[in-house]
């Protein structure tokens, strides 16, 4: 299989790419190639996007965060989509800080709001593309909490398993038509 | 001496429609209202000012740093206290058939512009006005969201721009809540419904389902009433029903 990465420039993305490569999959950052998987590993944090309300929210930093976390990956996805084959799996990294229900974040407005916007457009994309066979994954790698290698192993399992198993209590969740967020420990994060 | 100055609000996006109707209803209730204006072809606020002199039209582009500073200075000089912020300004508009994988590509400039105005401006407003808001005991923050901000309820297959911007707004409000609820602020996150557009003469266009004044009346009720549980951030509609995020 061919695995497209938007970027391989940190410990997590290198560890995840290495796991695919070790199985003989081809890893690429060339958006013009045919790909089975699209994996966005962007988690852009602008140094200026660090202030809580009352501390002087830096609008330019927030807009840069939106650009890097939303516009750039989506533009790359638009390039890759027509060439996708196989499981046509679209995988994005996110964070529970972007969960409207759960976030406890007080700073990082640009990054977190951008990721929330990403949740919405991926839901809309799932609604339109699912019928064409595309499948979707959203993962919080718990960066900063788990070692990158452990998070990459969890991402590998979550991204490559065709159907995920929520156990007998919640069979409806074992469904490609149902886009949800999971973290690297397998927990579901509400929107 | 006790502070006997009237309760004071800032309503952004008050040129017309929902924002205008909220400004008018607050004025009718005796509030001093700074009414943010940005549309050059709407003069309804001037008429409202003639009827209620305590309505003060205020040029305010919420995406402009200078605009935010000017608003803070104007309100600060007039009394130094802001009891209520109604963050309502938004750029509407559909991107039609644009969709990931669709024939029409996404317009990323438009996405980022919608983010600046519909999403980021709200926390920036609060950030800028916080000293004035903290001078009030009321400390209430109101944000105009939308039903299509709800990911759980989303059924669209395209036209993502406005929905994305309002989902991002909800997250920004959550972050404000995390910081400011412990400091006594209370929050209203409101889905006003699909409202009829208000024309420059104050009449309503054909499209839409709800008279903006009907939705504004419900919003003002929710603004003025305390809730039994202010420690939960909820998105409500004009009937007070909760929508899931």
Q: How far apart are CA A146 and CA A128, in angstroms?
A: 34
For the segment A177-189, the average pLDDT, to the nearest whole number, is: 92
Confirm if A122 and A136 have CB atoms less than 8 A apart: yes
Q: How far apart are CA B205 and CA B222, in angstroms?
A: 26
Smallest CA–CA distance, residue A71 to chain B, in Å, is: 6
Q: Report the residue from B116, B151, B244 with minimal CB separation from A120.
A: B151
Measured between CB atoms, does B68 come within 8 Å of chain A? Answer: no
Mean pLDDT of chain B: 94
| Interval A109-160: pLDDT, tens | 999 999 999 999 999 999 999 999 999 999 999 999 999 999 999 999 999 9
Dihedral angle sign, alpha carbons of residues B42, B44, B47, B52 = negative
Contact: A117, B245; criterion CB under 8 Å: no
Measured between CB atoms, does B127 come within 8 Å of chain A? Answer: yes
Lowest mean pLDDT among A158-167, B19-28, B138-147: A158-167
Provide long-range contacts, Cβ within 8 A and 24+ apart, for A43-49: A43/A69, A43/A93, A43/A95, A43/A111, A43/A143, A44/A68, A44/A69, A44/A111, A45/A108, A45/A111, A46/A110, A46/A111, A49/A107, A49/A108, A49/A109, A49/A110, A49/A111
Report the pLDDT value the prediction gives residue B104, as an integer from 0 to 100.
84
pLDDT at B34 over 70: yes
User: Residue B184: which domain range?
Assistant: 8-243
Report the pLDDT value the prediction gives residue B103, as an integer from 0 to 100.
80
For residue B84, give the CATH number of its domain: 3.40.50.720
pLDDT at B44 over 60: yes
pLDDT at A106 over 60: yes
pLDDT at B86 over 90: yes
Q: Report the residue from A81, A98, A105 with minimal CB separation from B178.
A: A105
Report the pLDDT value the prediction gives residue B101, as an integer from 0 to 100.
83
Which residue has tokens 């990931």? B100
Q: Report the residue from A53, A77, A100 with minimal CB separation from B123.
A: A53
3-state secondary structure string across B72-130: HHHHHHHCCCCCEEEECCCCCCCCCCCCCCCCCCCCHHHHHHHHHHHHHHHHHHHHHHH
Report the pLDDT value the prediction gives residue A137, as an integer from 0 to 100.
95
For the segment B186-196, the average pLDDT, to the nearest whole number, is: 97
Domain contains B46: yes
Report the pLDDT value the prediction gives residue A162, as an integer from 0 to 100.
80
Measured between CB atoms, does A113 come within 8 Å of chain B? Answer: yes
Mean pLDDT of chain A: 93
* In B135-234, alpha helices (H): 161-180, 212-224
Structurally, chain B folds into a number of domains equal to 1
Contact: A106, B175; criterion CB under 8 Å: yes
Q: How confident is the model at residue B97 (pLDDT cuts 50, 70, 90)?
A: low
Domains, chain A, ranges and CATH? 2-189 (3.40.50.720)
Rounded (5°) CA angle B91-B94-B98: 130
| Interval A75-88: pLDDT, tens | 999 999 999 999 99
Report the pLDDT value the prediction gives residue B94, as an integer from 0 to 100.
73
Confirm if A182 and A140 have CB atoms less than 8 A apart: yes
Listed residue (A104, A85, A72, A81) closest to A7, CA to CA: A72
- Reading across the β-sheet that carries A26-28, which strands appear in turn? A26-28, A2-5, A35-40, A84-93, A135-140, A181-183, A188-189
| Set of chain A residues whose Cβ sits within 8 Å of the Cβ of B102 | 128
Quote the crossing angle between the two packed helices A109-129 and A59-66, to the nearest 10°.
30
Confirm if B165 and A122 have CB atoms less than 8 A apart: no
For the segment A25-50, the average pLDDT, to the nearest whole number, is: 96
Longest dimension (CA), chain A: 51
Residue B201, classed as helix, strand or coil, is coil
Q: How far apart are CA B47 and CA B16, in angstroms?
A: 12
Confirm if A58 and B107 have CB atoms less than 8 A apart: no
| Set of chain B residues whose Cβ sits within 8 Å of the Cβ of A109 | 120, 123, 172, 175
Report the pLDDT value the prediction gives residue A177, as an integer from 0 to 100.
84
Domain contains B1: no
């Amino acid at each position: 299989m061919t695995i497209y990465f938007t970027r391989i420039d940190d410990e997590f993305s290198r560890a995840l790419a290495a796991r695919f490569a070790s199985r003989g999959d081809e890893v690429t950052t060339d958006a013009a190639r045919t790909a089975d998987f699209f994996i966005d590993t962007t988690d852009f944090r602008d140094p200026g996007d660090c202030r809580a309300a009352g501390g002087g929210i830096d609008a330019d930093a927030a807009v840069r965060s939106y650009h890097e976390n939303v516009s750039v990956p989506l533009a790359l996805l638009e390039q890759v989509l027509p060439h996708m084959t196989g499981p046509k799996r679209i995988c994005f990294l996110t964070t529970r800080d972007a969960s409207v229900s759960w976030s406890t974040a007080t700073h990082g407005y640009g990054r977190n709001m951008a990721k929330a916007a990403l949740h919405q457009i991926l839901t809309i994309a799932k609604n339109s593309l699912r019928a064409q066979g595309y499948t979707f994954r959203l993962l919080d790698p718990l960066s900063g909490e788990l070692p990158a290698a452990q998070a990459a192993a969890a991402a590998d399992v979550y991204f490559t398993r065709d159907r995920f198993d929520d156990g007998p209590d919640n069979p409806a969740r074992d469904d490609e038509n149902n886009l949800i967020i999971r973290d690297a420990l397998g927990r579901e994060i509400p929107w | 001496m006790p502070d006997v100055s009237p309760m004071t609000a800032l309503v952004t996006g008050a040129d017309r429609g929902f924002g205008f109707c909220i400004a008018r209803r607050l004025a009718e209730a005796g509030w001093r209202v700074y009414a943010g204006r940005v549309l050059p072809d709407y003069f309804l606020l001037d008429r409202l000012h003639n009827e209620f002199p305590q309505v003060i039209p205020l040029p305010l582009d919420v995406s402009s740093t200078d605009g935010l500073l000017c608003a803070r200075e104007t309100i600060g000089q007039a009394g130094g206290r802001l009891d209520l912020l109604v963050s309502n300004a938004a750029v509407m508009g559909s991107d039609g058939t644009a969709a990931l994988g669709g024939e029409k590509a996404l317009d990323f400039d438009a996405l980022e512009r919608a983010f600046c105005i519909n999403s980021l401006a709200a926390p920036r407003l609060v950030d800028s006005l916080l000293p004035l808001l903290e001078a009030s005991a009321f400390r209430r923050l109101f944000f105009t969201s939308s039903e299509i901000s709800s990911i759980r309820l989303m059924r669209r297959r395209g036209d993502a721009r406005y929905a994305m911007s309002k989902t991002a707004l909800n997250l920004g409000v959550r972050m404000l809540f995390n910081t400011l609820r412990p400091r006594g602020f209370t929050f209203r996150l409101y889905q006003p419904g699909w409202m009829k557009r208000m024309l420059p003469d104050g009449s309503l266009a054909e499209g839409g389902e709800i008279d903006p004044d009907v939705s504004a009346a419900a919003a003002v009720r929710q603004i003025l009433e305390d809730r039994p549980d202010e420690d939960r951030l909820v998105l409500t509609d004009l009937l007070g029903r909760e929508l899931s995020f």
